[in-house]
Every structure is written in structure tokens, then in C-alpha cells.
Amino acid sequence: MRRRSGRQSAPGAGVLVRDRLRRHSGRQSARSADLRKFCRASGAALDIHLIAIGGTGMAPLACLLRDLGHDVRGSDGPLYPPTSELLADAGVEPLVGYDPAHLEPRPDLVIVGNAVPRTNPEAMATEERGLPRLSMPEALDRFVLRDRRPLVVAGSHGKTTTTAMAAWVYSRAGADPGYLIGGAPVGLPSGFALGGGPRFAIEGDEYNASYFDRGPKFWHYRPETVILTSLEHDHVDLYPDFEGLERAFLGLVERLPSSGLLIACADYPAVERVARASPCRVVTYGAGAGGTQTRGSETGGAGVGDVRLAGPVESGENGISFELDEAGERQRIELGVWGEHNAANATAVWIAARADGLDPEAVLEALATFRGVKRRLEVAGSAAGVVVIDDFAHHASEVAASLSALRQRFPGRRLVALFEPRSLSAGRREFAADLAAALASADRVFLAPVFHRERLGEEGFDPEKLAADVQRLGAEATACESNDVLLEKALAEAGSGDVLVTMSSGSFDGMPRRLVDGLAL
């Protein structure tokens, strides 16, 4: 195979990323020098305080630090299950509210969550007192990832499920991985583990690390292998233009070592562009894999040729099955979840596991028994002949993929989508046309109010117009003035055999459970 050039990105893009990386690294160097004594492998337990300890990444980090033998404390607003239970099980009782007094006695180190503003009283006191501090991803780097082989799963879609799938496969295959997942995998004890093997699978988030560490979180994760599932415009509040988002992913890819591996989905043009900047071996996968000059070197483990889907994805009672074509050789894979997007996710995990030399039969058995992640097409319950599904989809591509998967799983049944435009991107007018096209693949659509209506202002879409657009595309649609009205209308229309799917990146006011309870009356 021809070895890929490490510098074939779009003109100027690599230079921009490298300059940004240098600036970012330079800003970190001064305070990093003060932190080195706390991050050496001295074996001494540190007293560590976490500001906003209840965050989706901060709470698992607190538990990992406890597992490493450190004394952990922290503060946040009132916490509720499952986060409160997670911390309680680890022996951590967070303080409620933010107060400089919480920094007494003086901790050895403060870790600051990315949702904490610089005006937070504890953050201000940390600076005033000159306390050593780290962002959450910096702390993961220094305490967890330094002596491991990080497998970073990044992309606009699918990273939570793919990371969970990798953790499940490596665990079942006896590799004892560490992992940190931004969700609750079905079948694993939790979404995090230190593990004892060399691999550490981590969900790579492109969002900023903290108010004093403005680079993407995944720039800190020292990747040895990267799975890049997709790349579309999202997080518009942080990346107003797509080029800025693409540069963030370029920065991740360029941080791979020459001995590393990039596993890239060739179905996305932006992924292919980013992959050209890789300094290491690249393996492509997906329907379009192998059709471009993105092949890697001949070095590496077993099963690392470009892989494409061969034939249709078939749906069954327990999940899906499909065939892969790897350099002319066929491999049949069964997967315990539904959807063509999950076939792609499984292909990426198959490539990573085979490159690491895991037993192929063990990998196949693990994929067949994978049962997904909570809030990713999760059955919330059923009543009166109606099935209620809870899903995290909020981007148009995710909505389309989830509805397609439900068509596979529940053929011939009426599919009703209840969509909440929760994120700052989901409610934007510029994405409304794509969202309408995606939602129109349901039979019936109910739209909740735009969650960030006031913040978005004129940039937010008009739900009534979106509903009319969905209707023109063939699905009956209604824009509801409140979530309570949406619940009432959905329950009034629900009939035996229907499948109701709630789609939101937030709590949606507990809509899945309220639907199940309402149907049971």
C-alpha cells in the first residue's frame, strides 16, 4: 500500500491549526510548570476539589480520581440521580452552591468544569489564592491517559455509542480497557472504568475545555488511535462557521503519532479532507471506503485494510446483520442494535479491535451482544399497545438516522416523532430545511417550542413554518406552544401499534416517562 502524506490538507488549513496549537500550548506552559509537582507519579494522595463536580464529564472524573487513591471533594448545584448516586457510591458528598469557603482547607489542586464561568466565586478565589488548577480534559490527560494508549472516538454524530461499543468489545474480548463515555452503556457497570489493560477508550468532545482553556477538549487526549465517525456543522455557538469546526478536528488528527492509526468514515467529504492531514496510517470505512486514495501503510496489526459495506443492512428480531468487504475478503457481522448508522459504528470498532490483535471470534460475539446506550433509541416503556422510545437525536442527520433505524426495528408501524429543538444548533433557522426533511420520514410529527428562543432571537426558526414544511414533505406535523400541550396532543392521538419517539438533547421535561404514564391511565 502507498503511505499517505502527512501534509495534504486544504491550502493553509494545516498551518492555521498548527499556529493555533502553538498558541494554545504556549498559554498552557506557564501554569503547567506550576502543576508538574502535583502530577508526577509520586504515589502521594492529593486533596482535589472539583468545581461543578456534577457535570457529565466531571462526575466520572471524580470517581476515577478516587479509584486512583486521591481525596476528592467538590461543589455544584443540587444534584439528583443518577449523578448524585454515582458520586455517593464513590464516597463523595458534594457541597451545594459555590462559596470560597469550600476551598478550605486549601486543596492541592482545583479542577474546573467547562460550564463554570470566570465569575464563579470559587473560580475567582482559586485565581486569587494562586491555587493550582486544571480543566477537566487536562486532568484526564495528567492523571489517567499518560501511561495508556488512548482510543479517541470523535465526530459530529455517533461518538457516544461508538465509544460504548468499543468499551464493550474490548471488555468482552478480555482486553480489560479503561474507558470514559458520555452516556450510560447497557451491560457495563458504568460509563467509566480505569481498567488494567493498555487501551483507554474515550469519547472525544470538540467543545471547549474551560474558560481559561479555550481549545477543544479532545486536543488534550494524546490520541494513539482516532475513530472519526462524521463531520457536519454543529455547536454553532462555539464554531460559527464550518471551517472553524473543521480546523478543530484537523488539530486532533495532527496530534496523532506517526505510529498511530486514524479510522475515518469516508462517507463524509469533510472527514476525507481532515484525514489528508494525518501523519500516520489511515483506514477508511463506510459505503464510500476504498474509492479514494486514503489507504495507509502496510505496517500495523491484522485487519486494517480499507473496509466498505457490502450489500444491504438486514434487520432481525435481535438487531441487524451486514457484510463487510475488506480487500476482497467478506466478513459477516451481527449487531445487537438497529440502524445503518450503527453498522458504520460497528465497522469502525471492528477495525480498531482487529488492528489491536483482538481475537476475531471474541469481537464478533461481543458485537452481537452489544445492547446500546441509554437515551440512544432506548425503549422507555410501553402501554396500551404503544411503544415509547427515548432518543438523544438533535441534529438533522441524527434525526434521519434514528427514524430510519426505528423503521427497521418496527416495520409497518405508525411512527410518531416528538422533537424538542433543545440545543443552540437545533433551534437555528439555517438548519430548519434539513431538519424538516429529516422529520418528514416519520408519519406524524409534534414540535416542541425552541428551547433557546430568547437567546437565538431572529436566528431561531419559526416552529409553525417548520411544521408547514414537514407537512409539504408528506408527514402530518403540529407545532405546540408548550411541552404540556405537546404531551396532551400526542396522548390524544396515540393508538395501539404506534411507536412514539421523543428526540431531545435535554430532559424534555421528562417526556418519555410522562408518555408511558399517560398511556397507562
DSSP string over 90-137: TT--PEES--GGGG-SPPSEEEE-TT--TT-HHHHHHHHTT--EEEHH
Q: SS3 for 265?
A: strand
Q: Could you please report the per-residue DSSP string of 296-308?
A: --S-SSSS-S-EE
Grid cell at residue 193: 472504568
Q: How far apart are CA 276 and CA 152, in angstroms?
A: 18
Preceding omega of 198 cis (within 30 degrees of 0): no
Q: How far apart are CA 391 and CA 380, in angstroms?
A: 9
- Any idea what DSSP says for residue 455? H
DSSP helix, strand, coil percent of the chain (3-state; round to 5): 40, 20, 40
Amino acid letter, residue 414: R
pLDDT of the chain, 521 residues: tens digit per residue: 223 333 233 333 334 434 444 444 444 444 444 444 444 444 579 999 999 999 888 999 999 999 999 999 999 999 888 888 889 999 999 999 999 999 999 999 999 999 999 999 999 999 999 999 999 999 999 999 998 999 999 998 889 999 999 999 999 999 999 999 988 899 999 999 999 999 999 999 888 899 999 889 999 999 999 999 999 877 666 777 878 889 999 999 999 999 999 999 998 999 999 999 999 999 999 876 553 333 443 333 344 568 888 888 998 888 999 999 988 889 999 999 988 889 999 999 999 999 999 999 999 999 999 998 888 889 999 999 999 999 988 788 889 989 998 998 899 999 999 999 988 777 888 889 989 999 999 999 999 999 888 888 888 889 999 999 999 999 999 999 999 999 999 999 999 999 999 999 888 999 999 999 999 98
Phi, psi of 219 (to 5 degrees): -65, -20
Q: How far apart are CA 489 and CA 504, in angstroms?
A: 18
Half-sphere exposure of 364 (CA within 13 A, CB side): 11
- Name every residue whose Cβ is closer than 8 Å to that of residue 32 and which is 6 or more positions away in sequence: none
- Name every residue whose Cβ is closer than 8 Å to that of residue 450 and which is 6 or more positions away in sequence: 421, 427, 456, 460, 461, 463
Q: How far apart are CA 309 and CA 326, in angstroms?
A: 9
Q: How far apart are CA 139 and CA 153, in angstroms?
A: 18
Q: How far apart are CA 315 and CA 310, in angstroms?
A: 15
pLDDT (0 to 100) of residue 459? 84
Fold of 378-520: Protein-Tyrosine Phosphatase; Chain A (3.90.190)
β-partners of residue 331 are 324
pLDDT (0 to 100) of residue 466? 93
- Any idea what DSSP says for residue 145? I
State whether the Cα torsion 38-41-47-51 is positive or negative. positive
Cα–Cα–Cα angle for 388, 391, 392, rounded to 5 degrees: 160
Amino acid letter, residue 69: G
Q: How far apart are CA 40 and CA 16, in angstroms?
A: 33
Tell the residue number behind the cell numbers 448524585, with chain if given: 84
Q: Yes or no: say if 253 and 228 are a contact pair by the CB < 8 Å rule.
A: yes
Segments making up each domain of the chain, as ranges? 14-36+43-136, 147-369, 378-520
pLDDT (0 to 100) of residue 239? 74
pLDDT (0 to 100) of residue 326? 84
Fold of 147-369: UDP-N-acetylmuramoyl-L-alanine:D-glutamate ligase (3.40.1190)
pTM: 0.82
- Beta strands at 213-216 and 378-383: parallel, antiparallel or unpaired: unpaired
- Name every residue whose Cβ is closer than 8 Å to that of residue 100 and which is 6 or more positions away in sequence: 121, 122, 124, 125
Give the DSSP H/E element, type plus range, for residue 300.
none
Which CATH number does the domain 14-36+43-136 belong to among 3.30.950.10, 3.30.420.270, 3.40.50.720, 3.30.70.920? 3.40.50.720
pLDDT (0 to 100) of residue 135? 96
- Any idea what DSSP says for residue 482? S
CA 203 to chain centre: 6
